[in-house]
């Protein structure tokens, strides 16, 4: 029976609170809490429940890196250009239903690509990230040193740099244990509490390092304080707003100079004004979840920027012929 990939993707999205790589931190905390709760009064562990730790850790790895694949592809160039490097006969196969879902924005290209790429072991993850980013992920993450204003971030980075080979070895062992516990009786296997605890702690270090690495790759020199985030979000919106203003002026000139039909300027401007009312209301809605908090300006401005960027693309598509004629005059 043919898999319904679109239904699979939408179902996964519905089961995730944020549907992003940032969910990994809360999931790791839940796993660690379960680990501590598994201690009995003698300080020993229930060996059967102990098997859950590598299983849950691998689930966290898979969800995290699938979110990364999605984010990279949907971010755009240069990552989206590297999708062609995957073996399309094995990995990327489009059919009408998938094309239609992407066209209607039911799913994004990144969501589709991330869903079908293999994520069965560390080598799969390393290969996928390396191809998307155009670099050797393992080599680069071993060298990556975060220079943060937050000391705990720098400490995590230092731990990884100092113990990279051991940590990656424990990640591979975690995948191995997960496979054993999911597919075998393994009644003769000695459950090593210390090994599982070490593997879990190193998995946390690795995922935090990977998260910082990806963040720096996509958003180099990103602000870390809330004040700086507010300023950057405002600047980003202003950049798109200026772009939109220039585009609107160009469309009016292009339509009136090169089109067979004149543009009703008054009605066109009215649609823009009505859209700006919608944009403002949407930003207020998006930011209402942190009403009164220090994050409000960031979310408000980010929403304005996102909606403005979408409007720019919409206008470019709607008036593409007129803009091309105007540019070639």
Digit-by-digit pLDDT tens for the chain (329 residues) are: 778 888 988 999 888 877 778 788 889 999 998 888 776 655 667 888 889 999 999 999 999 999 999 999 999 999 999 988 886 655 556 666 777 777 777 888 899 999 999 999 999 999 999 999 999 999 999 999 987 777 888 899 999 999 999 999 999 999 999 999 999 999 999 989 899 999 999 999 999 999 999 989 998 877 777 888 888 889 999 999 999 999 999 999 887 776 566 788 899 999 999 999 999 999 999 999 888 888 899 999 999 999 999 999 999 999 888 888 888 87
- Extents of the domains making up the chain: 5-218, 226-327
Cα(24)–Cα(57) distance, rounded to whole angstroms? 10
In CATH, the number for domain 226-327 is 1.20.1270.180
**pTM, whole model, 2 decimals?**
0.75
Instruction: Encode burial over 46-64: b for 16+ CB neighbours within 10 A, e otherwise.
Output: eeeebbbbbbbbbebbbbb
Q: How many residues does the chain have?
A: 329
Q: Is 254 exposed, middle or buried (0-12, 13-18, 19+ CB in 10 A)?
A: buried
Please tell me whether residue 45 adopts helix, strand or coil conformation: strand
Nearest to 22 by CA among 296, 208, 233: 208
Residue with tokens 């060298």: 143
């Amino acid at each position: 029976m043919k898999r319904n990939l679109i239904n699979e993707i939408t179902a996964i999205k519905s089961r995730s609170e944020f549907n992003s790589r940032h969910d990994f931190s809360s999931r790791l905390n839940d796993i660690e809490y379960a680990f501590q709760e598994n201690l009995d009064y003698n300080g020993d562990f229930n060996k059967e429940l102990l098997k859950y730790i590598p299983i849950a850790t691998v689930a966290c790895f898979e969800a995290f890196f699938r979110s990364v694949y999605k984010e990279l592809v949907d971010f755009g160039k240069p990552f989206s250009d590297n999708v062609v490097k995957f073996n399309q006969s094995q990995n990327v196969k489009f059919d009408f239903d998938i094309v239609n879902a992407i066209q209607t924005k039911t799913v994004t290209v990144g969501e589709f690509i991330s869903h079908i790429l293999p994520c069965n072991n560390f080598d799969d993850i390393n290969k996928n990230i390396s191809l998307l980013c155009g670099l050797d992920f393992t080599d680069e993450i071993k060298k990556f040193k975060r220079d943060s204003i937050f000391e705990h971030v720098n400490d995590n980075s230092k731990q990884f740099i100092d113990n990279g080979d051991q940590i990656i070895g424990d990640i591979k062992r975690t995948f191995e244990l997960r496979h054993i516990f999911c597919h075998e009786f393994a009644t003769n296997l000695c459950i090593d509490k210390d090994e599982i605890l070490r593997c879990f702690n190193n998995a946390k270090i690795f995922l935090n390092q990977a998260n910082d690495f990806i963040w720096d790759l996509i958003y180099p020199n990103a602000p870390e304080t809330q004040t700086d985030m507010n300023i950057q979000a405002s600047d980003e919106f202003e950049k798109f707003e200026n772009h939109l203003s220039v585009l609107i002026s160009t469309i009016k000139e292009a339509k009136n100079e090169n089109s067979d039909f004149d543009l009703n300027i008054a009605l066109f401007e009215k649609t823009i004004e009505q859209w700006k009312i919608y944009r403002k209301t949407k930003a207020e809605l998006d930011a209402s979840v942190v009403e009164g908090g220090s994050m409000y300006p960031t979310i408000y401005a980010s929403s304005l920027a996102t909606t403005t960027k979408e409007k720019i693309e919409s206008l470019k598509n709607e008036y593409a012929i007129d803009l091309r004629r105007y540019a070639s005059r």
